């Protein structure tokens, strides 16, 4: 029996170590940063937080280490309106870590130590199959083992749970995996890796979307940075621009977009309205530093949209 409006997110949890620099160092060069901080992140957790703060009824399947960081992250996720019962604590493992450089333009470089995220196994997914089966939507990314993402997608398909995949970080995917997805949300780089098309404008985005449709995905949404998103539904495409703001840090902008998009779809918003709502959330996120500290609450998204009227 489906639970109306229920979202399950499956994905990673990281502690982000963020160093702000004037510019990125060249190979072999050492630079002193302007600021350093540790903030909660991980693509899965960021998307779960974006969904939770924007009002979704959400459970999160993930793993943390049996360390102090893992405990504090679990508490923070619960404060963000997320059911953390399916977050497993892995004995003897460290919580995932991301090392992030941010330059003065707000761009970033990220290196990951998977830690406990690598222990999100198909067995663990199977143990949570009931919540995937009951959910309306399953939202995933690619920062946890691919065989577990595939396992979750198979369970979801068997129980008519809609599957949304944010294929980040970029990774080639087997046709079976692609054929199980209902909505895919790559950025330009990820769309390129999945399709072999160099996505640089609306025309190339439309061609990449067409290839993904041919793999069996009905809705393709390619995020184009400042230019907004290319939305293609069963071959009919259009670009939906985003909002222009002064970006200070783009970490988790895509994650915020994905989590909020799914909240809006679960509320029954039409796709273009859901995208506008998600664009607003991402626009707020890029004006703030860090991953989860930058994710807005619903009231902030609504106030932002009101100011645009």
Q: Where in 283-302 is the site for ligand RIB (CB under 6 A)? A: 291
Instruction: Given the residues 57, 182, 249, 255, select the one marked as catalytic.
Output: 255
Interface with ligand RIB, residue 249, by CB under 6 A = no
Q: Which residue number, 3 or 103, has a Cβ lying nearer to ligand RIB?
A: 103
- Smallest gap from Cβ 210 to ligand RIB, in A, equals 27
Q: Which of residues 111-150 bind ligand RIB (CB under 6 A)?
A: 143
Task: Draw the binding track, 91-110, toward ligand RIB (x: CB under 6 A; -: no contact).
Answer: -------x-----------x
User: Is 123 a known active-site residue?
Assistant: no
Please list every residue from 35 through 54 that binds ligand RIB, using CB under 6 A.
41-43, 46
Query: Should residue 16 be labelled a site residue for ligand RIB when binding is judged by CB under 6 A?
Result: yes
Residue 200 main-chain phi, psi, to 5 deg: -135, -10
Side-by-side strand order, sheet with 35-41: 35-41, 14-20, 96-102, 108-113
* d(C-alpha 149, C-alpha 239), whole Å: 29
Is residue 80 near ligand RIB by the rule CB under 6 A? no
CA distances to 24, 27, 111 from 150, rounded to whole Å, are 36, 36, 24
Distance of alpha carbon 256 from alpha carbon 61, whole angstroms = 18
Output DSSP code: residue 105: T
Residue 258 near residue 278 (C-beta atoms within 8 A)? yes
* CB nearer ligand RIB, residue 12 or residue 223: 12
What is the Cβ-side half-sphere exposure of residue 278, based on CA atoms within 13 angstroms? 33
Q: With respect to ligand RIB, which residue has the nearer C-beta, 111 or 272?
A: 111
The set of catalytic residues is 255
């Amino acid at each position: 029996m489906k639970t109306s409006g229920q979202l399950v997110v499956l994905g990673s949890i990281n502690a982000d170590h963020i160093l702000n620099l004037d510019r990125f160092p060249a190979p072999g060069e050492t630079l002193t940063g302007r600021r350093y901080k540790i903030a909660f992140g991980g693509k899965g957790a960021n998307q779960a937080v974006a969904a939770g703060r924007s009002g979704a009824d959400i459970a999160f399947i993930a793993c943390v280490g049996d360390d102090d960081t893992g405990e504090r992250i679990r508490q923070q996720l619960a404060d963000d309106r997320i059911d953390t019962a399916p977050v497993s604590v892995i004995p003897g493992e460290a919580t995932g870590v991301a090392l992030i450089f941010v330059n003065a333009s707000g761009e970033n470089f990220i290196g990951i130590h998977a830690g406990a995220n690598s222990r999100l196994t198909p067995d663990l997914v199977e143990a949570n199959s009931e919540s995937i089966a009951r959910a309306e939507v399953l939202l995933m990314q690619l920062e946890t083992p691919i065989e577990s993402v595939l396992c979750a997608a198979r369970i979801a398909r068997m129980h008519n749970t809609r599957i949304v995949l944010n294929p980040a970080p970029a990774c080639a995917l087997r046709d079976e995996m692609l054929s199980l997805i209902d909505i895919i949300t790559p950025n330009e780089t990820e769309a390129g890796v999945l399709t072999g098309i160099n996505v640089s404008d609306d025309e190339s985005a439309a061609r990449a979307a067409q290839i993904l449709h041919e793999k069996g995905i009905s809705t393709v949404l390619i995020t184009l940075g400042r230019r907004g998103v290319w939305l293609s539904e069963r071959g009919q495409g259009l670009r939906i621009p985003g909002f222009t703001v002064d970006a200070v840090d783009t970490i988790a902008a895509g994650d915020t977009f994905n989590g909020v998009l799914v909240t809006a779809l679960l509320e029954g918003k039409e796709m273009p309205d859901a995208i506008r709502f998600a664009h607003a959330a991402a626009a707020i996120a890029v004006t703030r530093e860090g991953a989860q500290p930058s994710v807005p609450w619903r009231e902030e998204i609504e106030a932002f949209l009101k100011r645009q009227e």
